[in-house]
Structure 1
Amino acid sequence: MSVINVRAFSDVGLVRKRNEDAILVAGWLSQTREGSLVAMDFAPTVPFVCAVADGMGGHVGGDLASRVALTVISERSRDWRSEDDIAKTLQDASDEVRTVGADAELQGLGTTVAGLCLTADGIVVFNVGDSPLFSITDGVLTQISIDDSVFDVNGRPTNIITQSLGQFPPVQPHLKVLPWEAGTYLMCSDGVSGVMSPEELQAAVRRPDLDEMAADIIDTTRRNGAHDNFSFIVVEIPDLSSPDATTLAQRTVETG
């Protein structure tokens, strides 16, 4: 039987004291300090959700913000059927982060999010903030998320973001529906995309399999200094025209 293949990783990096990133794969939420590459196989089913969140760097409680946002998404995504469901959950997650951040010691709490959801109608890609999500087709990397950030003179996004979960007024999530077809997707925090050059990231996704691709991303990010937390999820979707609604089957393997 065809399966959805996933590789997931989250790490504090070489400079930061705590991990403000968090990752979510089909209800499994992780925010580890010392990351291990996790491989998972899932029976095709809907809804199937993966997401990366990057807590606002420099703000007290960024790790809490990303964890709260992905917890809300994990709980609500079981009932996702449409774009409207996803948009409403992201707005609710933003409200929850903002509520938690009402504490005087947690003012400024916020987080980005980027992810995808497999539905009966297709693949819904969503994001708020500057954590990117890419499609990988024939070894070519293409960003399909929309950066909520200020851009420099060369057209590259800076670390100044214009929208995040937890902000006021309500957020306006970016959503895009793609056809359900075989393909590979990479979502990551800017601890990956901002540390690896576009050429290095492109070279990594041309590796022959998911394990080598993931290992290249980890090794290159660390070699380049890993000055921020860095997290990513790679999702390989099989060619299926009619996903069923059976219970998820999961096999998890950790590698060093």
Structure 2
Amino acid sequence: MKRVEVAALTSRGLVRAGNEDRVSVFGWSAPREMTEPVLLTRETSEPVLVVVADGLGGHQAGEVASEFAVTALHTALPDVAADPARAFGRVHEDLLALGASQPELEGMATTATALLVTDVITICHVGDSRAYYVEPGFVSQLTTDHVEPGGALTQVLGGRPGREVVPQVREVESAECSRFLLCSDGLHSYVDAAVVREGAALESSFGAARALLRAAVEAGAPDNVSVCVVTVWLEGEKNR
């Protein structure tokens, strides 16, 4: 048995006309414009999944790609739990097929960063959204940005045919109670790392998510910004 608590939010920011980010928690999809986090909690022995996806700006239908990805991953949760990389690969192929079948969607693509909780905690990731491990006064980036020196992404779900997707999969050693941060680049690209570290470690996950959104707004929020502050209690820790 495990308990997972997630404070989740997504916003178009202060500049973009729309929001191509998508946040999904336990199968619940966040609305595209939020001013406050939503707090969700699940206590279960079954696998649970939290996903942040960022449809690529400048590509057709980025919002469709991110929506498709998070929905497909939650729909295929048993497959994700069994083999996260293979499940990501299937979403990639399905996005390519959908883009090929509808000209207005050709080339659509998305990043995806997923946190899977079974008996262990696993991160699966492509693109430049990120996952962090969080402790008071300490934040460690768990994912590697798939970005070329010029700034182009080297790994996405969907996009153009002929490019293989090779997700980063990482099993995370954790204490009985651990905190993680998932976010799109609308946070980490514009907010100083020290501010992210301070905000993510606030005692309340709801307060942490709120503080991170505020920091993005204070930085001008030029991009869509999405945040999931995830606290996991594995078996053996008294639920709080």
**TM-score under structure 2 length normalisation:** 0.90
**Partner residue of 2:67?**
67
**Partner residue of 1:246?**
none
* Superposed displacement of residue 187, structure 1: 0.5
**Partner residue of 1:176?**
170
**Partner residue of 1:138?**
136
Q: Is the 8 A contact 1:3 1:237 kept in 2?
A: yes
> Residue 182 of structure 2: SS of its match in structure 1?
strand
State which of 193, 197, 205 in structure 2 corresponds to 1:198.
193
**Partner residue of 2:233?**
238
Give identity over the alignment, percent. 28
* Superposed displacement of residue 99, structure 1: 1.8
* Superposed displacement of residue 106, structure 1: 2.3
* Superposed displacement of residue 39, structure 1: 0.5
1:208 aligns with 2:207: no
State which of 158, 165, 177 in structure 2 corresponds to 1:166.
158
1:189-214: CA deviations, max 9, x gaps? 00111111112111212323212211
1:24 aligns with 2:24: yes
Cα 1:232/1:98, change in 2 over 3 Å: same
Q: Is the 8 A contact 1:59 1:109 kept in 2?
A: yes
State which of 154, 175, 181 in structure 2 corresponds to 1:186.
181
* Superposed displacement of residue 67, structure 1: 0.4
Q: Is the 8 A contact 1:22 1:54 kept in 2?
A: yes
**TM-score under structure 1 length normalisation:** 0.85
CA–CA separation in structure 1 for the residues paired with 2:234 and 2:49: 17
Structure 1 unaligned blocks of 5 or more: 152-157, 243-256
Structure 2 unaligned blocks of 5 or more: none
CA–CA separation in structure 2 for the residues paired with 1:14 and 1:8: 19
**Equivalent residues in 2 for 1:7-22, closer than 5 Å:** 7-22=7-22
> Residue 115 of structure 1: SS of its match in structure 2?
strand
After TM superposition, the runs of 4+ consecutive aligned structure 1 residues lying more than 4 A away are: none
* Superposed displacement of residue 159, structure 1: 4.2
What is the identity, as a one-letter code, of the residue corresponding to 1:203?
E
CA–CA separation in structure 2 for the residues paired with 1:159 and 1:45: 41
1:55-94: CA deviations, max 9, x gaps? 0111120000000111110100144443xx2111101111
1:37 aligns with 2:70: no
1:137-162: CA deviations, max 9, x gaps? 233110001210124xxxxxx74211
Number of aligned residues: 233
**Partner residue of 2:116?**
117
> Residue 95 of structure 1: SS of its match in structure 2?
helix
What is the identity, as a one-letter code, of the residue corresponding to 1:93?
V
Cα 1:18/1:203, change in 2 over 3 Å: same
CA–CA separation in structure 2 for the residues paired with 1:61 and 1:79: 26
**Partner residue of 1:77?**
77
What is the identity, as a one-letter code, of the residue corresponding to 1:189?
S
Cα 1:2/1:62, change in 2 over 3 Å: closer
CA–CA separation in structure 2 for the residues paired with 1:180 and 1:44: 18
**Partner residue of 2:219?**
224
